[in-house]
Amino acid sequence: MPILPIDSGRYGSKEIKKIFEEEQHLQYQLDFEAAVSAAQAHIKMIPENASDDITKKAKSGKITIEKVKELEAVTEHDTAAIVEALSEQCSEKSRPWIHYGLTSNDILDTTISMQMRDAFSILESKILDIATALTDKALEFRTLPAVGRTHGQHASIIAFGLKFAVWAAEMAKHIERIEEGKKRFLLCKTLGVVGTGSLMGNRALDVQRRVAMDLRLYAVEAATQVIPRERHAEMQFLIALVACTLDKIAIEIRNLQRTEIGEVAEPFRRGQIGSSAVPVKRNPIKSERVSSLAKILRSLVNVAMENIGLWHERDLSNSANERFTLPMAVILLDEMLNSMKSIIIDLNVNTKRITSNLNITKGQIYAEFVLEALIKKGVPRFEAYRNIQRVAFAALEREEDFFDALRKDSNLSKNLTPLELKGIFNAKNHLSASSKIIENVVRKVKATNKKYHNNQLH
């Protein structure tokens, strides 16, 4: 009976959860044993016919999770149970060479790397999908003037599409971070009990290099019994960092969907219910879900950091929590990416509300540009600043349009003609480099997408 929402199917796609299911986890470990035996046979460390037998049986599908659990109930050691189950399938001559020169964490740590190799492939594809969807929105709204807010207040004018471009740039940057980091954390280890190479002697590094290449991983440079946990912490951090960007996007969507602002709204399908009590509500539940799950992923970074300091060549204080941390982080990030993709693609953008919100302050959003015009006319900056502030605050109290207040003020109107003021109070004149920035981001995302897929082909 499912206990956690992940188990019940509430969070995460089938493709991502399959990576961490017991059967697939077992097969990763068996694939590792096969790869090690093949590498050892290649350099004549073990008999070739033994390697052939080990590989064949490891990939036969005859070693079941039920059998491994049966053996583990006796041994109380998960890796020993797998080795014993594999031994039962192999010939008597092959058995001495199974798991030769290895320790449990060679198989466990390398299996984590194999899982994360496949998990990142799925996650990165979805990150790129979101980046592309964001650039589509950026291009669609590249010329739409909107309120830019700082400290929750109207500050100046932006192109509404610039919001999406900023997010798209960060999603593309996440791909760069992950791709660049793979050589540091997708690691293979076959160096035995305390990281010396143990029974394999001087040829241990050759075995490790061959196994890493076979499994599409990177050989660890140096290790104790375990791969240094700084590497796992980096993976956990990168996952949390992607989650934080998704949270940032979700927070902005939630804020812009507030009744008082109303510039965007999450898609709301026919038959959906926003509130059991209030029929008219359309709540941003997917964005709120993203923000909620991000809190968990940030907390898991601390656990990963705590795992870095282990006693001597290792202890078990990291082992139990690691059965949760990376699998949970990957599955929840997958859920967040799926949610955000659906939000962005079908996001409802209320262009009329965006335009009307520009005028909430009765033109005071143009104050920056009035200041610039006065400075260019030779008015000292702080003299112009104080006069604009004086007129603006008085207009606000009188609920007067800022344009009219400027025209009436003798100190300011003598430097700006009505025609010049009219040009200043045109929002489309203040998009500045927005279009150029958006174009640059679109090119960056396309280049990142192309580079990523080329790397996968090779």
- For the annotated catalytic residues, the residue numbers are 151, 275
CB 305 within 8 A of CB 91: no
For 298, residues 6+ apart whose C-beta sits below 8 A from its C-beta are 240, 243, 244
Give burial (CB, 10 Å; 0-12/13-18/19+) of 390: middle
Paired strand residues for 146: 158
CA–CA dist 411, 258 (Å, integer): 40
Positive or negative CA dihedral for 255, 257, 260, 263? positive
For 172, residues 6+ apart whose C-beta sits below 8 A from its C-beta are 128, 131, 441, 444, 445, 448
CB-side neighbour CA atoms (13 Å) of 116:
31
38: left (phi over 0), alpha (psi -120 to 50) or beta: alpha
